[in-house]
Amino acid sequence: MIDQDLGKDEGSPPDAEEYFLPAGSGSRHLIFPGVEIRTTAGKNLMLSVVRFEPESVVADHAHPHEQMGILLQGQLEFTVGGITRLLGPGDLWRIPGGVVHRVRALDQPALALDVFHPIREDYL
């Protein structure tokens, strides 16, 4: 029998590329001026590494996807559902689908990891 997602026989061993991805792999998109994402998706989950240049802004928007993330470096000002917080490294956010949110980088670069469910087809 063929595994429809991988196009292989069910009994055949997987390729290493199905489990491990090298640094820098995935799709790359400039989503707003100064905001670049690199995404990688599995069957139902998407990871997105987001780089913010100083003073860059992700404008107000909403999407049907649930989104959670962690700030890895720098500081970001998040506004979610009208509530604004200044976040630093290690801080987390969760944004239900359909909730309006925005992000603003301060005077230093920032790096974040976002997780989306379901997969954002527009970021593949």
Record the pTM.
0.85
pLDDT, residue 110, reads: 98
pLDDT score, position 51 = 98
Structure tokens at 91: 């801080």
Helix (H, G, I), strand (E, B) or coil at 110: strand
The architecture that CATH gives domain 25-123 is Sandwich (2.60)
pLDDT tens track, the chain, 124 positions = 334 455 555 666 778 778 898 988 899 999 999 999 999 999 999 999 999 999 999 999 999 999 999 999 999 999 999 999 999 999 999 999 999 999 999 999 999 999 999 999 998 8
Intra-chain end-to-end CA distance of the chain, in Å: 28
Which pLDDT score is estimated for 5? 53
